[in-house]
Amino acid sequence: MTHLPAHIACSACDATFPIRDLLNLCPKCKAPLLVSYDIKPDPQLRDRIRSRAATMWRYREVLPVSDDANVVTLGEGVTPLLRSREFPNVFIKDESKNPTRSFKSRGMAAAVSMAKELGAKSLAAPTAGNAGAALSAYGARAGLPVFVAMPRDTPQSIIDECREYGAEVELVAGVITDAGKRVAQYIADNGGFDLSTLKEPYRVEGKKIMGYELLEDLDRLPDAILYPTGGGTGLIGMWKAFDEMERLGWIGSERPRMYSIQSSGCAPIVRAFAAHLESAPEWESPQTTAWGLRVPRAVGDRLMLRALRDSRGGAIAVDEAAIEPAAAAMRKGEGIDAGPETGAAMHAYRLLVAQRAIRPDETVVIFNTGANKYH
Ligand SMILES: Cc1ncc(COP(=O)(O)O)c(C=O)c1O
Ligand SMILES: [Zn+2]
């Protein structure tokens, strides 16, 4: 047993389950399930973790895999935190340095490891692109067959990449929610474990380590975090990590303000936040060149909206026309391989400072969630 004692708990009702069977949404109420650890204060654990090899698995006490032999890894996590040249108090967490050049590596490393540990025979997920590449790579690493469904207009380079990792790829008309329906049908016909965002509890566990790493990188938490948001796994995961870190005795009750960044062409979380809703109705005709953000309906909408409100942060949509110039300026001005999702977040920083929601002297982290190369 490498992790702390843990069980699965529903995010909405009081159902709990042992970590034994592969579970998707809560069998009782269909809400997302999360891993809950029995945590006692352990301030020294921080130093022990820092002394281990530089991958996200150095945080194994708060990752759900029981037997190290089941860890499926390509060396993900512990990415650089780079100070911006343009804004001295802005730091960029460069997730493009992950093995499949996006933060999706982290979630899939955790989820594929757990699928292996709990006996899955095959894996499937819908994707806007990067999650499919990650699942294909980690599936290959685990020796498990992978099926991914993605929108027909996903860049050809990503489609090829998934196939090169040996995955079966199906292209569907529409967006990721349509791909999700195809995956559900595929699993009904062929079996396999569904790794759709927040439809299983373990991708959040991998992504939450970004929150732990921010404390490691800065030795404190930032004042605000800007997160380009689709399904919201990282946002939900980091918010969960901060709670775990407080129970470990590593931080107090302070929290960064969490900001969800979306595009004017697909902003369901921004709209729901502004309207004070608890869930986010589907965005009609989603259109954005930042295809990681083209998620019209998120299973984790309630969890995201709660985290944004509890953190006293917010949600902001960036005009579609501003996204690519902002990403290009980051590549040229910072030398960082920033994708359009990150361009949206960088532009959002300027807007939030102009609106006085963020002061220029506050420490802010922007996630470069994925590389530009494959766009
Ligand atoms: C580069 C990039 N940024 C952001 C996102 C959105 O991530 P999440 O679904 O965790 O909100 C994605 C998802 O596909 C992505 O590929
Ligand atoms: Zn439930």
Indicate which atom in ligand 1 lies nearest the CA of residue 371. 1
The answer to whether 112 touches 142, Cβ cutoff 8 Å, is yes
CA distance 118 to 70: 9
128 CA from centroid of ligand 1 (Å) = 8
The bound ligand whose nearest atom lies closest to the alpha carbon of 27 is 2
pLDDT digits (tens, 9 = 90+) for 311-348: 999 999 999 999 999 999 999 999 999 999 999 999 99
pLDDT digits (tens, 9 = 90+) for 106-156: 999 999 999 999 999 999 999 999 999 999 999 999 999 999 999 999 999
pLDDT digits (tens, 9 = 90+) for 143-154: 999 999 999 999
66 and 84 co-located in one domain: no
pLDDT digits (tens, 9 = 90+) for 215-266: 999 999 999 999 999 999 999 999 999 999 999 999 999 999 999 999 999 9
CA distance 233 to 212: 15
Of 271, 291, 57, the C-alpha closest to 152 is: 291
pLDDT computed for residue 62 by the predictor:
98
Backbone CA torsion sign across 84, 228, 93, 37: positive
52 and 92 co-located in one domain: no
249 CA from centroid of ligand 1 (Å) = 30
pLDDT computed for residue 375 by the predictor:
56
37 and 96 co-located in one domain: no
CATH of the domain at 350: 3.40.50.1100
Q: Is the CB of 102 under 6 A from ligand 1?
A: yes
Main-chain phi, psi angles of 89, to 5 degrees: -100, 10
168 and 274 co-located in one domain: yes
Take atom 16 of ligand 1 and give the residue whose Cα is closest. 292
CA distance 373 to 97: 12
263 and 301 co-located in one domain: yes
153 and 55 co-located in one domain: no
CA distance 293 to 69: 35
CB within 5 A of ion ligand 2: which residues? 10, 12-13, 15, 26, 28-29, 31
**Per-residue confidence at 374, pLDDT binned at 50, 70, 90?**
low
83 and 64 co-located in one domain: no
**Per-residue confidence at 294, pLDDT binned at 50, 70, 90?**
very high
Last residue of a domain, one of 39, 70, 101: 70
The mean pLDDT of the chain is 97
pLDDT digits (tens, 9 = 90+) for 356-368: 999 999 999 999 9
| Domain membership flag for residue 371 | yes
Q: Which long-range contacts (CB under 8 A, 24 or more apart) does 155-160 make?
A: 155/129, 155/291, 155/374, 155/375, 157/374, 158/129, 158/130, 158/132, 158/133, 158/374
Which range of residues forms the domain containing residue 26?
Answer: 6-70
The answer to whether 135 touches 112, Cβ cutoff 8 Å, is yes
**Per-residue confidence at 23, pLDDT binned at 50, 70, 90?**
very high
57 and 88 co-located in one domain: no
131 CA from centroid of ligand 1 (Å) = 8
pLDDT computed for residue 373 by the predictor:
74
| Domain membership flag for residue 28 | yes
| Domain membership flag for residue 100 | yes
Q: Is the CB of 298 under 6 A from ligand 1?
A: no
Last residue of a domain, one of 70, 93, 116: 70
Q: Is the CB of 231 under 6 A from ligand 1?
A: yes
**pTM, whole model, 2 decimals?**
0.97
Choosing from 92, 176, 293 the residue with most ligand 1 atoms within 8 A of its CB, the one to mutate for a pocket test is 293
294 CA from centroid of ligand 1 (Å) = 9
Take atom 12 of ligand 1 and give the residue whose Cα is closest. 292
SS3 assignment for 93-162: EEHHHCCCCECHHHHHHHHHHHHHHCCCCCEEEECCCHHHHHHHHHHHHHCCCEEEEEECCCCHHHHHHH
| Domain membership flag for residue 31 | yes
Within 8 A by CB and 6+ apart from 343, the residues are 290, 322, 323, 324, 325, 326, 327, 328, 329, 330
Token pair for 258: 């969490």
* Number of domains forming the structure of the chain: 2
The answer to whether 234 touches 227, Cβ cutoff 8 Å, is yes
| Domain membership flag for residue 241 | yes
44 and 164 co-located in one domain: no
pLDDT digits (tens, 9 = 90+) for 58-84: 999 999 999 999 999 999 999 999 999
The answer to whether 327 touches 342, Cβ cutoff 8 Å, is yes
Take atom 4 of ligand 1 and give the residue whose Cα is closest. 292
66 and 90 co-located in one domain: no
pLDDT digits (tens, 9 = 90+) for 199-223: 999 999 999 999 999 999 999 999 9
CA distances to 77, 120, 136, 192, 273 from 143, rounded to whole Å, are 21, 11, 10, 14, 42
The answer to whether 43 touches 251, Cβ cutoff 8 Å, is no
The yes-or-no verdict on residue 1 having pLDDT over 70 is no
| Domain membership flag for residue 1 | no
Last residue of a domain, one of 20, 38, 70: 70
CA distance 305 to 150: 26
23 and 141 co-located in one domain: no
The yes-or-no verdict on residue 19 having pLDDT over 60 is yes
9 CA from centroid of ligand 2 (Å) = 8
149 and 24 co-located in one domain: no
Choosing from 369, 374, 375 the residue with most ligand 1 atoms within 8 A of its CB, the one to mutate for a pocket test is 369
Q: Is the CB of 341 under 6 A from ligand 1?
A: yes
| Domain membership flag for residue 120 | yes
Token pair for 368: 């470069």
